[in-house]
Structure 1
Amino acid sequence: MYVAVKGGERAIDNAHGWLAEERRGDPGVAELSVAQIREQLRLAVNRVMAEGSLYDPGLAALAIKQARGDLIEAVFLIRAYRTTLPRLGGSAPIDTAAMAPIRRISATFKDAPGGQVLGPTFDYTHRLLDFKLAAEGGDFPPAAALPSAPAPVPHITEFLNRDGMIEVEPASDATPPDLTREPMDLPTTRPLRLQALTRGDEGFVLSMAYSTQRGYGRTHAFVGELRIGTVAVECDIPELGFAICIGEVEVTECETVNQFKGSKTEPPQFTRGYGLTFGQNERKAIAMSLVDRALRWQELGEDFIGAPAQDEEFVLMHSDNVQATGFLEHIKLPHYVDFQSEMELIRRLRGKALTQKEAAE
């Protein structure tokens, strides 16, 4: 490390001080508060919570401020902090069917049971800069009255199940492994794959999903349902003999419906892709569901066509942005001894090659 260099420790302290100045920016501009980040940069907060595996908007906002807006660095900070927290118990699986959705759309049924709820989304906005947002204290239209609390609505894929048109998800009471506490072994199981994709870098998962749409994978997906809303988190209390609600979390859930011609083991039917993330994070949830479906080729009896999104080892071992960042950025640390040995090797090889050339002449 640079500490070993003469004056290195003082230089590092100065670098920390300079970083603090850069983080603060112009002192003449009001400092950005953690509360402002939490409330006004929610999509960034949601991404940090999802990839950091910790649902705490306040801590995610603090990490974003500390990281100067570098979301991967913020994810790193959240994961590091998460390791210091005691584990008091485990929660029961959340029931997304009981979700009160603020957004719920389907690309498969126009008149979806329970209705379509557009909710807060960029989907229908013009991609033009709104300079009103830059006018401090400008006149803004009054906020529309919030609708009454939505009632839970059933999952749309349940209606396909009535006709046997879509695969039935096998029920299991087994506790899935915890990727945050146990190393991932390959080949792995679908629950562990989904955990890895949830924690994976949004850009990488999006790229893998896009590759499946361009033909590098056997998926032709329709968004069966995309829903965003709050769900209750419950814990079983042995002394009471029943579960109690300890809070609520906002999640985004996506189920895709995919064509499937059948295989030696499965009949022709629709198959599922699934994505679930913290907060409003629909691009990540949709991308997850596409990659999830591509990775299921083996269990569905499909042929491996060599697509990157079908390769479990390639996808899961390269999706973690914190691990990738650490491996990538370590090369900027001192490698003086290694480089000197490389230089000495090149000198010997060049000398040998020159000697052989002179002998040939």
Structure 2
Amino acid sequence: MYVAVKGGERAIENAHDWLAEERRGDVSVAELTVAQIREQLALAVNRVMAEGSLYDPDLAALAIKQSRGDLIEAIFLIRAYRTTLPRLGLSEPVDTGAMAVDRRVSATFKDLPGGQVLGPTFDYTHRLLDFALAAEGLEPAAAPEGTPREEPVPHVTEFLDREGLIQPEAESDATPPDLTREPLKLPAGRPLRLQALSRGDEGFVLGMAYSTQRGYGRNHPFVGELRIGKVAVEMEVPELGFAVEIGEVTVTECETVNQFTGSKTEPPQFTRGYGLVFGQTERKAISMALVDRALRWAELGEDNVGAPAQDEEFVLYHSDNIQASGFLEHIKLPHYVDFQSELELIRKLRREAGQATRQEAAE
């Protein structure tokens, strides 16, 4: 029997008020501002922008504040807000070769044109708590001069391409499908897969990438190049007849280099995995590149060994944290009717089992 809860609207309003109080915390402590979140929690802001499919650091910081630091809730807020925005047009493909790099490293070549640029990274830090950060008001050490680099630097894979040692990327003038406007359809082409991975949950994509390195997909690549920096965004204006720059965004790009033994039509060569994500999100970009390469098994004529990362449907349908969390969290909402029916079914089965036991005992 379904029993309606009286006073539900008042209870929800009280829950909202309590949430606002918990969000604010101790009023004797200064309130955290959106600007502070944007500037000092930049990596969290970058993740919210990437998985929310909206590049706006201020809105991402606001969503983080509103969600009390729950990044998936913040991503949900950004995606919901994104649906209210008008679409003014389409931008041109960004030219990452013209990127002004803050960070650019390669695990395949030590000496390369443009050099290795370590940039702001945790890679060489000691994983020890820095209690000096608790002393508020201290000025950080000044960044070295000469960064970021404004001059463009070539992609590392271009060196392999000159010798024909890496598979050329397929080119097409066809407009790729837009995952933000159309539902995911399988089988998906590589452009659609890359979109899904780019805004997929970082933890899930990382887990899939890690599985390929542990043997579930025979995929242990080299990081050909990882670069982080600003790229220009251009949009063609019909009245002008040519593209104009309308702004710039920070992105992380990763190209992995994978061994390929060849096939009946292709010689032995290297192949690529690719990742491109908003902001400084290098763990996500590398993971994306590994999973992208694993999903290319059919295109390259490789064997499917049954690895999870090779299963397009499994990866793409479960990588979206908003769909996943929505389906997960809905089970905490009222399901009184469903439970009562199952409760009655269990009672009926127990009664029937008890009657059968008694009949057997009587016989």
TM-score for the superposition, normalised by structure 2: 0.97
Q: CA RMSD in A?
A: 1.3
1:144 corresponds in structure 2 to 143
Q: CA deviation at 1:316?
A: 0.4
Query: Is the alpha carbon distance of 1:200 and 1:148 closer, same or farther for their aligned partners in structure 2, counting shifts above 3 Å?
Result: closer
1:279 corresponds in structure 2 to 279
1:97 corresponds in structure 2 to 97
Matches of 2:124 and 2:144 in 1, distance apart?
19
The 5 A counterparts of 1:48-67 are 48-67=48-67
SS at match of 2:112: coil
What amino acid maps onto 1:143 in structure 2? A
Q: CA deviation at 1:148?
A: 4.8
Query: Is the alpha carbon distance of 1:3 and 1:300 closer, same or farther for their aligned partners in structure 2, counting shifts above 3 Å?
Result: farther
SS at match of 1:274: strand
The 5 A counterparts of 1:283-302 are 283-302=283-302
2:308 corresponds in structure 1 to 308
Question: What whole-Å deviation, never above 9, does each CA across 1:4-42 have from its counterpart, x for those lacking one?
Answer: 520111111000000000000000000000000000000
Q: Does 1:15 align with 2:28?
A: no
SS at match of 1:78: helix
Query: Is the alpha carbon distance of 1:252 and 1:323 closer, same or farther for their aligned partners in structure 2, counting shifts above 3 Å?
Result: same
1:213 corresponds in structure 2 to 213
Q: CA deviation at 1:265?
A: 3.3
1:269 corresponds in structure 2 to 269
Matches of 2:162 and 2:278 in 1, distance apart?
30
Matches of 1:176 and 1:284 in 2, distance apart?
22
Query: Is the alpha carbon distance of 1:336 and 1:3 closer, same or farther for their aligned partners in structure 2, counting shifts above 3 Å?
Result: closer
- Percent identity, aligned pairs only, is 79
SS at match of 1:220: coil
SS at match of 1:211: helix
2:32 corresponds in structure 1 to 32
Q: CA deviation at 1:146?
A: 3.5
Higher mean C-alpha displacement, 78-87 vs 129-138: 129-138
Matches of 2:92 and 2:140 in 1, distance apart?
43
Matches of 2:328 and 2:34 in 1, distance apart?
30
Tell me if structure 1 keeps the 8 A contact 2:250–2:278: yes
SS at match of 2:269: coil
SS at match of 2:226: strand
1:355 corresponds in structure 2 to 355
Higher mean C-alpha displacement, 301-310 vs 144-153: 144-153
Question: What whole-Å deviation, never above 9, does each CA across 1:145-165 have from its counterpart, x for those lacking one?
Answer: 442541110101011001110
1:135 corresponds in structure 2 to 135
Q: CA deviation at 1:172?
A: 1.2
Question: What whole-Å deviation, never above 9, does each CA across 1:179-211 have from its counterpart, x for those lacking one?
Answer: 000011111100000000011000000000000
SS at match of 1:230: strand
Higher mean C-alpha displacement, 262-271 vs 228-237: 262-271
Paired positions, count: 359
Question: What whole-Å deviation, never above 9, does each CA across 1:269-327 have from its counterpart, x for those lacking one?
Answer: 10000000000000000000000000000000001100000000000000000000000
Tell me if structure 2 keeps the 8 A contact 1:179–1:195: yes
- Structure 1's unaligned 5+ residue stretches are none
**Structure 1 segments (4+ residues) deviating >6 Å:** none
Tell me if structure 2 keeps the 8 A contact 1:304–1:310: yes
Matches of 1:162 and 1:152 in 2, distance apart?
19
SS at match of 1:227: strand
SS at match of 1:60: helix
Matches of 1:91 and 1:137 in 2, distance apart?
42
Question: What whole-Å deviation, never above 9, does each CA across 1:218-247 have from its counterpart, x for those lacking one?
Answer: 312000000000000000112111100000
Q: Does 1:321 align with 2:321?
A: yes
What amino acid maps onto 2:281 in structure 1? N
Matches of 1:217 and 1:357 in 2, distance apart?
52
